[in-house]
Chain A
């Protein structure tokens, strides 16, 4: 019997576009030859909510800060951060220096929590749930700290055009230091767990390689780009807020290992070292924090009037945990809403490297390889697998993929 004669029937298992366990829906179409992936395609747009349209048609700029905050649940500091900087750039409002420092502190807290969250997810993807639970338990400390400082665990509402809405006072410093000391004390242990563990090394070394040249061509940014040896970090290149006073260096994996491979293991190194860097940045910010007001214009009605009269355009660029966030705004005099608002999130560009890094991998490597870019991750729950040899098409759900990944880890451990 010739291959493909009876196997031509195409069947599809409908798995909804939103998977309750994960962050954001997306679909990958993988063309496979047996176990090996020969091509991949990305389909996005399942959660396109028209947020930019709301900013251009319904909300005034101050309301848009809170819409921007809701673009992403994890990076809910960097989007309003970038947005208020864009509006400030367009209108010429300068935030007071103290606000710049408070902004940087909250942004670094976000980076710590996001990287630890990612570390847990990555461990889960390779079926190493002990580390998943460890990483997320460790993450609770920073979440508590975020709640202590901003009053909320997720959407923090700290930002205002021309400053911040809440202060971080001297009395709060001991509590912040206590959390930072906790992370410093366990950092070596975390490093040992993530970088020296045999299973993790087996599953991540030489997996999902993104070469430096590909990263540059495909505009990959953030930790994924830095792991491929592109030292691009807005905090270093074109520093904003308090980073302009500090000397932040982009972290590439060769700092630790001496070489750049660009695989999943390198992405772990970069994120782990960035946690340490964030702790140092927060400490420096607390030391250097200047006194002064928090807002350039405390009266919201006056601010709103200024914004309505304002004419101009501006860009705001911030380094989010996943890479560079760019907001562009255009304001017209007499118009209450923004004339144009364009948001560029880091995953937008990082997704373009997915076909490149998946090529030549096995299906069981898809979860960890894909997760290593730290995209909003539920992507893997709707992978269409087309088997080229038999011409069969089926939808593989997240559970099955996850199972394959666990099986591979177990095989390697034997």
Chain B
């Protein structure tokens, strides 16, 4: 398949998603002596257009490589970034593509993409247990890293009241919140 330039990829997202497209940017930085470019693309989409966006990426590259889903707690919303790489396998042609989607805290759900990319299962399971984002229709919703004895409703990556604060032992230079017990 013909390889698009970063700008053409953004344009294709605009035509494909219409209202669902929030914004896109290209970042380039120069590396080492020859000043070859490290190129990354960042695209933000509306939650309702998310599945459509992933399907579009699957059309750009037959098997897009999903590196990881990163998630950040931004206060009133949770931001997920799906880090894809496309056009791999050729010298200097690969692009890093971050697909950003923001979820309001009162509706933390995202559709699964394991039907499109089966290897997304681990990172979806991790996002579910660590950030408390419910992945709808996930084929295997068990916990991945967190042990059974961590209670439900505690999400280690959150920065609000559902964070792991209660479970922490006192770290050096850190005072526990709540009850002040010794030992």
Contact = CB atoms under 8 A, between A and B. Distances in A.
Interface string A200-239: 0000000000000000111111000000001110101111
Interface string B13-39: 000000000000001011111101011
B108 interface: no
Contact of A344 (B67, B94, B157): B67
Interface string A361-405: 000000000000000000000000000000000000000000000
Contacts of B81: 328
Contact of A328 (B32, B70, B118): B70
Interface in A40-90: 44-45, 48, 50, 52-53, 56, 58, 89
Contact of B121 (A236, A317, A352): A352
Interface string B80-92: 0101010111111
A48 B146 contact: yes
B71 interface: yes
Contacts of B145: 44-45, 48
Contacts of A218: 118-119
A110 interface: no
B112 interface: no
A114 to B, nearest CB: 21
A97 B87 CA distance: 27
B96 A317 contact: yes
Nearest to A342: B70
A245 interface: yes
A173 interface: no
A333 interface: no
A367 B156 CA distance: 34
Contacts of B157: 52-53, 56, 340
A28 interface: no
A217 B89 contact: no
A343 B31 CA distance: 22
A156 B39 CA distance: 29
Contacts of B149: none
Interface string B81-114: 1010101111111111010000000000000000
A219 B32 contact: no
Nearest to A219: B119
Interface in B108-130: 117-123
Nearest to A317: B96
Given A237-B93, A317-B96, A344 B65 contact: no
B179 interface: no
A260 B63 CA distance: 19
B29 A89 contact: yes
Given A328-B70, A340-B70, 20 more contacts: A94-B29, A100-B31, A218-B119, A219-B120, A221-B65, A231-B89, A232-B88, A238-B92, A238-B94, A242-B32, A244-B31, A244-B92, A250-B89, A290-B33, A330-B72, A342-B68, A342-B71, A348-B122, A348-B123, A349-B122
User: Ordered nearest first, which 3 A-B pairs have the shortest CB separation?
Assistant: A219-B119, A237-B94, A45-B145
12 contacts: A48-B146, A58-B171, A92-B29, A216-B63, A232-B88, A241-B31, A244-B31, A244-B34, A315-B83, A330-B70, A342-B71, A352-B122
